[in-house]
């Protein structure tokens, strides 16, 4: 019997396809690698220092570091906070449009402990 062409092609290409956990050329990018969208980075933050700089994957902001709230844009000037922290920022419409509404990462549990 003859295998259908698409099945034969799939069997030939299967070893060449990377596993999901491996780094790719477009997704699962490491800290420091060039990116266009935060979804490409393992850290979840595609960061640029200014409007003219190239964006690179960066770690999320830790407690007491400057941050940006998560937004629909793919690149940040300040990375969002690590998991479990919140970006304490004044969320105005002007700041959202101009991408200048920066804050500081805080542990939301700290307000309950006082």
Q: How far is CA 50 from CA 13, 54, 66, in A?
A: 41, 8, 15
pLDDT tens, 4-44?
A: 544 444 444 444 444 444 556 789 999 999 999 999 999 99
User: What is the rounded CA–CA span in Å between residue 19 and residue 89?
Assistant: 39
Tokens for 65? Answer: 């570091």
pLDDT tens, 87-99?
A: 988 766 666 566 6
User: What is the rounded CA–CA span in Å between residue 36 and residue 43?
Assistant: 14
- pLDDT, averaged across the chain: 79
Tokens for 54? Answer: 């190239």
Closest CA relative to residue 75, chosen from 40, 101, 109: 40
In the chain, % of residues over pLDDT 90: 51
- Parse the chain into domains and list their residue ranges: 26-111
Apex 113 CA angle, 110 and 114, nearest 5: 95
CATH of 26-111, one of 1.10.3720.10, 2.10.80.10, 1.10.10.60, 3.40.50.1820: 2.10.80.10
């Amino acid at each position: 019997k003859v295998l259908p062409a698409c099945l034969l092609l799939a069997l030939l290409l299967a070893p060449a396809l990377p596993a999901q956990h491996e780094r790719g050329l477009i997704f699962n990018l490491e800290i420091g690698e060039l990116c266009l969208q935060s979804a490409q980075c393992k850290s979840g933050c595609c960061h640029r220092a200014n409007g003219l700089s190239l964006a690179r994957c960066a770690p999320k902001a830790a407690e007491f570091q400057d941050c940006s709230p998560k937004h629909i844009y793919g690149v940040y000037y300040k990375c969002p906070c690590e998991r479990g922290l919140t970006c304490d920022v004044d969320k105005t419409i002007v700041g959202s449009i101009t991408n200048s509404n920066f804050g500081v990462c805080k542990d939301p549990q700290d307000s309950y402990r006082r």
